[in-house]
Amino acid sequence: MSNGAGPGDEAGGWRRLDARMLLVHPLETLIRFLPALLAIVIFRAGSDDNDRWELYAVPLIVAFGVLRWVTTRYRITEGQIELRRGLFTKQTTTARLDKVRTIDLTARVHHRLLGLAKVEISTACGGHDRLVLDSLSVDDGRRLRAELLHRVDPAVTGLPAPTGAPTAVEDVPDDAPPPVDEEVLVRLDPTWIRYAPLTVTGLASAAAIVGFASQGFSRFSEERSVFRDGATWVSRLQWWVDVLLLLGVVSLLAVGAYVLTFWGFRLTRNRLGTLHTRRGLLTSRETSIDAARVRGLRLDEPLGLRLAGARRLKVVTSGLLREQGGSDWLCPPAPAGVVTPLALRIRPDEAAVSGPLLQHGPAAQRRRTSRALVPAILVAAALVSARFLWDWHGSVLVLVPVLLVAAVALGRDRYRALGHSVTPDHLVSRHGSLDRQRVVLDRDGIIGWKVEQSFFQRRAGVATLVATTAAGAQHYDILDVPVAQAYAVLSQVSPDLLAEFA
């Protein structure tokens, strides 16, 4: 592997980061401190002092980048990967190769212009248990990924890279066929963009964009006046026009966020079973997930997607980087006719992926209804009190029956979603209405159990059965299940642990 390492480094197996990182790190550091530097320049604009000492920060930032490149090295030896960095305080981080869970290659715009990528090697379940190599060339990053995943299994160490011969990102068209040793499981269809406004994620992305833009523009008085004039103009429109305008703006922003995140999305699987995703318009991200670390699937059906006949698919695995949202996506929001067959190709258990579930009975139904109805009654009571005590407009009383009917409908839908099943290979649980989730968890990935009962659950004769695992959210719950059914599931999946609950 060519990483610009010198002869002494190669003799010890040590490799350097790509020398082009000397252009990346000073740029990133300069951008990070740019607001502070601008503030200093503006503050000293009227000063008579001609000594522009703040400009000395630029060569210091460049020198820091050079020092980081000189002192950072890594190597693969004796079944582990080592990362060494630091000048005065030496820090060495090691990880066993058989503990490598996932490998992410992230390339922001400035990385892509230079043909570089940041390689993040995750060895456990959190953001602290990882090694970060920023930056390697795209080719070297892909070779390293293949080398790490292959060395986990000595039987396949000599096989070629699972992604074939490495190729620069810019040289690979979006519609290029994968190498012959890869199977394409799903590829983004541009028509799926219509689902972007139907998810909470899309709406949150739109809100973030609006907040960021307004915060930036609010720094300038002229832009603040533009906002005031716009708000005045909107306030003069009919209320239904305002609603349509708001929906249109939010939808456009959600679509923009969808395109930036998932453009060019492609999920492939190589002959070793490794899942590989690639996505992103400006920031390109590649994630490789070792098949041996996958512990199940999660099919999400938020209310908006469910009404549109769509779903999304995520993987339950250990070692994903949680601060990088979307690393666990196996399929963005897409038609159910695409997502369900995809889930079956990854976990060929039709009863677990799409089969019927065992319902939890009348007690669970009463709890689902009451938990939805009580908050609605409190809000309705507050509205009635406001009408008569503070002389609010009488139109607020129209909301009272609407709230109550919506609460009853929500409770009924939450109960219909509630259920579980046990197949020879999987434990399945489903719950939720506004954000419905169906989790297909591998039985051999369950490492422990908890049976929890609140005061009200004990009175209703139900419990929450918690299956703990080292993957994903670390635990998956079967809510409001009758106590007898909870222990029946436990005895069926882990009969050797049933005695611990006696």
Q: Which of 118, 145, 180 is the last residue of a domain?
A: 180
Q: Which of 76, 186, 77, 184 is nearest to 140 (CA)?
A: 76
Same domain, 172 and 240: no
The answer on 207 and 78 residing in a single domain is no
Q: Please tell me the predicted confidence (pLDDT) of residue 292.
A: 82
Q: Residue 244 — pLDDT band, cuts 50, 70, 90?
A: confident
- pLDDT level of residue 409 (50, 70, 90 thresholds): very high
| 493 falls within a domain | no
Q: Are residues 368 and 410 in the same domain?
A: yes
Q: In what order do the strands lie in the sheet with 80-85?
A: 15-16, 73-77, 80-85, 91-96
In a domain, 474, yes or no: no
The pLDDT of residue 470 = 86
pLDDT of 4 > 70? The answer is no
Q: Tens of pLDDT along 146-193?
A: 888 765 444 433 433 333 333 344 444 555 555 546 789 999 999 999
Residues 14 and 86 occupy one common structural domain: yes
Q: What is the pLDDT of residue 307?
A: 93
- 174/204 same-domain check: no
The pTM of this model reads 0.79
Determine the Cα–Cα distance for residues 126 and 105; give it in Å rounded to an integer: 17
Residue 330 and residue 346 in contact, taking contact as beta carbons nearer than 8 Å: yes
**Cβ within 8 Å of residue 151, ≥6 positions away:** 76, 79, 97, 157
pLDDT at residue 160 in the model: 39
One domain for residues 138 and 21:
yes
Spatial separation of the C-alpha atoms in residues 272 and 288, rounded to whole Å: 12
Same domain, yes or no: 169 and 100: yes
Q: How far apart are the first and last CA of the chain?
A: 58
Residue 293 lies in a domain: no
Residue among 161, 121, 168, 119 at smallest CA distance from 141: 119
In what helix (H) or strand (E) does residue 24 lie, and over which residues does it extend? Answer: helix 21-43
The tokens for 261 are: 């995140």
DSSP character string of 164-193: -S---GGGS-TTPPPPTTEEEEEE--GGGG
Last residue of one domain, picked from the residues 262, 278, 307: 262
Q: Is residue 336 in a domain?
A: no
Residue 318, domain member (yes or no) = no
Asked if 231 and 84 sit in the same domain, the reply is no
Overall number of domains in the chain: 3
Average pLDDT over residues 19-37: 74
Same-domain status, 50 and 163: yes
Please, what is the angle between helix 200-217 and helix 239-262, to 10°? 100
Between CA 175 and CA 188 the distance in angstroms is 10
Kindly state whether residues 84 and 122 are assigned to the same domain.
yes
H or E segment at 430? strand 426-431
Angle formed at CA 319 by CA 5 and CA 353, multiple of 5 degrees: 135
Same domain for 114 and 244, yes or no, is no
The alpha carbon of 92 is separated from its chain's Cα centroid by a whole number of angstroms, namely 29
Residues 120 and 170 both lie in one domain: yes
Q: 158 is in which domain, residue-wise?
A: 7-180
Domain end: 262, 297, 314, which one?
262
The verdict on residue 57 lying in a domain is: yes
If you ran DSSP here, which 8-state letter would residue 13 be given? T
Q: Is residue 137 part of a domain?
A: yes
Does residue 144 sit within a domain? yes
Name residue 243's amino acid.
V
Closest CA to 314 of 206, 459, 201: 201
Long-range contact pairs involving 23-29 (C-beta distance under 8 Å, separation at least 24): 23/114, 24/65, 24/110, 24/111, 24/114, 24/116, 24/134, 24/135, 25/64, 25/65, 25/68, 25/69, 25/134, 26/61, 26/62, 26/64, 26/65, 27/110, 28/110, 29/61, 29/64, 29/65
Q: Report the candidate in 479, 376, 470 with the shortest Cα–Cα distance to residue 436.
A: 479
**pLDDT tens digits for 437-470?**
999 999 999 999 999 999 999 999 999 999 999 8
**What number of other Cβ atoms are within 10 A of residue 72's Cβ?**
17
